[in-house]
Structure 1
Amino acid sequence: MTSFHSELENHLKEVGNRLLNPSSSIDDLLTLFDEVENLLAYVEQVPSKSVRDALFPLVKALINNKLLRHTKMDVKVLVVSCIIEITRITAPDAPYKDEQMKEIFRLIVAACENMSRMFTHSYKKVTSILDTIAKVKLCLVMLDLKCDALVVEMFQSFLKIIRSKYPPAILSAMETIMSLVINKNEDISLDLLNSLFSIVRKKNQNVSHISWTLGEQIITRINA
């Protein structure tokens, strides 16, 4: 093992143990999460056993209710951002139990719904979260877990919040996520279809052009 990998493992254990007893200071927490994310970026998929062992305290800490159900949305966003990195590392295996993954997906949808009210730092994190979900196809786990109602809520959230002022990366990630779900879903629910068709109805005058375009693109994939 190189000195770099040894040092990385030591740092992963350290930050994981610190998060097991998180600071009450929001600023300290945000700083610590930034450190965690920087470390996780160096961890490749299918890590060695020693790296998996080093990650264990961190994996355990992130799912703790003190963090996952924190009162501050900015903290929750950073928790989810780190969890998404963990899922990237462990893919295609999920790092948490089914009920815990459902909780994580609920938090992701809630974060998306609050994008317009977020500060720049959290806004960028949600953008990164969506991009990673699209790349590693994590959204398909929602289908495996039978999160039908949550999938509908996610679609509705995307179509509601998307604006032309958002960076192209956000629109691209949302479109990819929705397309992956539609293409993989053999039994598309009426609620999901209604959420799409309600956007593209010509008589619906309260929908932004970008939302209408996204909805139309997804419907086209259903009929393809």
Structure 2
Amino acid sequence: MLQHDAEDLLANVEQGQSIPRLDSLLPVMKALIADSFLKHSVEGVRVSVAYCLSELMRISAPEEPYNDDQMKVIFELIVESFSKLSQASPQYYEKALSILETVAWVKACLLMLDLK
């Protein structure tokens, strides 16, 4: 249930919010990049984390929400989530599609190329 709360919260934050409002997201931002989430053994948790991280990229665009090393790990997780587009599970498919749309919208592929 907590993962859905984070997803809903981030999905409803508009891009270009004021700095104080973005600062209020720092606890969520820090929690999402913990190894316990990024390398979680449950596939659904990793997809949810990728979704939340893509929303943070959207919110903070054109700035990167994390440092380069963290962004590399985040992009690996996001690319992993794209494999869910071929699965029959509507839960994973819809999240993966949303991640893909967000990555395209914020032109995150350009950020990926900058990170090599």
Match of 1:96 among 46, 62, 66: 66
1:47 aligns with 2:28: no
- SS of the residue corresponding to residue 38 of structure 1 reads helix
Could you say which residue in structure 2 is the equivalent of 1:112? 82
Could you say which residue in structure 1 is the equivalent of 2:108? 138
Under a length normalisation based on structure 1, what TM-score does the superposition of the two structures give? 0.49
- The whole-number CA distance in structure 2 between the counterparts of 1:100 and 1:43 is 22
1:60 aligns with 2:14: no
Could you say which residue in structure 2 is the equivalent of 1:70? 40
Does the 8 Å contact 1:73/1:111 carry over to 2?
no
Does the 8 Å contact 1:87/1:95 carry over to 2?
yes
CA RMSD of aligned residues (A): 1.4
Could you say which residue in structure 2 is the equivalent of 1:196? none
Moved over 4 A (4+): none
Could you say which residue in structure 2 is the equivalent of 1:168? none
Aligned residue pair count: 116
- SS of the residue corresponding to residue 139 of structure 1 reads helix
Question: Which whole-Å deviations, capped at 9, do the CAs of 1:53-92 have from their partners, x for residues lacking one?
Answer: 2101001000001101100111101001001111111101
Structure 2 residue runs of 5 or longer lacking an equivalent are none
Deviation of 1:137 after TM superposition, in Å, equals: 0.6
Deviation of 1:115 after TM superposition, in Å, equals: 3.5
- The whole-number CA distance in structure 2 between the counterparts of 1:87 and 1:66 is 20
Could you say which residue in structure 2 is the equivalent of 1:10? none
Does the 8 Å contact 2:13/2:59 carry over to 1?
yes
Percent identity over paired residues = 47
Deviation of 1:46 after TM superposition, in Å, equals: 2.1
Q: Which moved more, 1:109-118 or 1:37-46?
A: 109-118
Could you say which residue in structure 2 is the equivalent of 1:32? 2
Equivalent position amino acid for 2:29 in 1: V
Q: Which has the higher contact order (CA 8 A, sep 6+)?
A: 2
Deviation of 1:118 after TM superposition, in Å, equals: 5.7
Match of 2:57 among 80, 87, 96: 87
Greater C-alpha radius of gyration: 1
Under a length normalisation based on structure 2, what TM-score does the superposition of the two structures give? 0.91
Report matched runs for 1:147-158 at 5 Å.
none
